[in-house]
Amino acid sequence: MIVDYQTLYGEAPGGGEVGDRRVIGPAAIEFFACDTIACRVVTNGSHILDMGRQVCTATPAQLRALAIRDGGCVVPGRGRPPSWCDAHHLLPWVEGGLTNIDEMRLLCRPHHLMLHLGILQLE
Ligand SMILES: [Zn+2]
Ligand SMILES: [Zn+2]
Q: What are the pLDDT digits (tens) for 4-53?
A: 888 888 888 888 898 888 999 888 888 888 887 777 788 888 887 877 76
The residue that leads in pLDDT, 77 or 107, is: 107
Q: 89 CA to middle of ligand 2, Å?
A: 15
DSSP secondary structure string for all residues of the chain: -EE-HHHHTTSS---EEETTTEEE-HHHHHHHHHS-EEEEEEEETTEEEEEEEEEESS-HHHHHHHHHHH-S-SSTTT---GGGEEEEESS-GGGT----GGGEEEEEHHHHHHHHTTS----
Query: Which pTM value belongs to this model?
Result: 0.76
* Residues 64-91, mean pLDDT to the nearest whole number: 92
* Residues 96-115, mean pLDDT to the nearest whole number: 91
What percent of the chain is modeled with pLDDT above 90? Answer: 39
> What is the pLDDT, as a whole number, of residue 110?
93
Ligand with smallest separation from the Cα of 103: 1
Distance between CA 117 and CA 92 in Å, rounded? 13
Mean pLDDT of the chain: 87
Q: 3 CA to middle of ligand 2, Å?
A: 27
Ligand with smallest separation from the Cα of 88: 1
Q: 25 CA to middle of ligand 1, Å?
A: 15
Ligand with smallest separation from the Cα of 85: 2
